[in-house]
Amino acid sequence: MEEGVEGDRAVVDRVRREVLRRQAPSDPIVAAWLDDDANVARFLRAEGGVEHAHKAVKRLVSMLAWMKEERPHELVCPACFKLSGGVLEASAAGHYMHVVTYDLMDRPTIYSCLELAANKDIDDNRKHLISTFETAIGLMPPGVEQWNWVLDMHGFRLVDCDPRLAKIFLSLAGERYPERLGNFWVVDAPGIFSTLWACVERFIDPVTKEKIKFVKTTDAKNGEQVGVDSTRPDPTVDATAAMASSYSRNRSSPTDAHSRSPSFATRSSFARR
């Protein structure tokens, strides 16, 4: 383990023992999750380190209860996949949010586009968020603990101004997936988005807020369009082909969008570029 929280194995073990004393998981998958030092250490970091170990214990106990009820490792978005004859089949009337590439730090990078998201149901969107985050975690190479998210606001409309989904994301990121978010790019946010941003901004903790960057595909940079030609809203992102292709296709011919979305079967076999 590394220095800091990760380096203090005794603290990690002590926190885990206290969690087990309060709520020993019966599910072997949940038990294995708790047995992973990196998961315990991440919750310790989120609470500010060793001095706040008691808070990490409380959050981990809550996390185990949530995992037992929600079963995120098994969750499949009901709007994107339907069970037919015992086989999961992709649905066209769903969402457009999935892992598309890795950055230079080997972090999975999620891309979503509002223009192509047909389903606006709040709970369906919550389940899709969880499913996508779990997919990103499953695609992380050893030693990597974070993902990036590129939120393409192309197609943002009044119906998207519901602050509940933003609050759900903030709750998931803070309570269930702490320390997982690397960078969050909001691409081409329209003026109407300022109303929603004003509603949710005050609920964002300072650490998460620092990771949110607003960029435009039309911002000139060395004669190129940021996010379209150079596709570098941040120098750590090595996603030129994937991002350029997504931005341009989703603005020119979005009608076949869901035929381009990865199927459930291929998500687990996603190849690193």
pLDDT in tens, 72-119: 999 988 888 876 776 767 776 678 888 988 887 889 989 998 888 888
Say whether pLDDT at 215 is over 80: yes
Between residues 72 and 268, which one has the greater pLDDT? 72
- CA dist 146 and 237 (Å) reads 13
pLDDT > 90 fraction of the chain, expressed in percent and rounded: 45
**Mean of per-residue pLDDT scores for the chain:** 81
Contact 169, 200 (CB under 8 A): no
Say whether pLDDT at 174 is over 80: yes
Res. 158 pLDDT band, cuts 50 70 90: confident
Q: Whole-model pTM?
A: 0.82
Say whether pLDDT at 228 is over 70: no
Q: State both tokens at 163.
A: 């602050």
- CA dist 267 and 57 (Å) reads 33
Predicted local distance difference test score (pLDDT) of residue 245: 65
Say whether pLDDT at 263 is over 60: no
Res. 169 pLDDT band, cuts 50 70 90: very high
Res. 216 pLDDT band, cuts 50 70 90: confident
How many other C-beta atoms can be found within 10 angstroms of the C-beta atom of residue 122?
12
Contact 147, 181 (CB under 8 A): yes
pLDDT > 70 fraction of the chain, expressed in percent and rounded: 76
Between residues 106 and 228, which one has the greater pLDDT? 106
Reduce the DSSP state of residue 178 to 3 states and report it: coil
CA-nearest of 191, 246, 247 to 217 is: 247
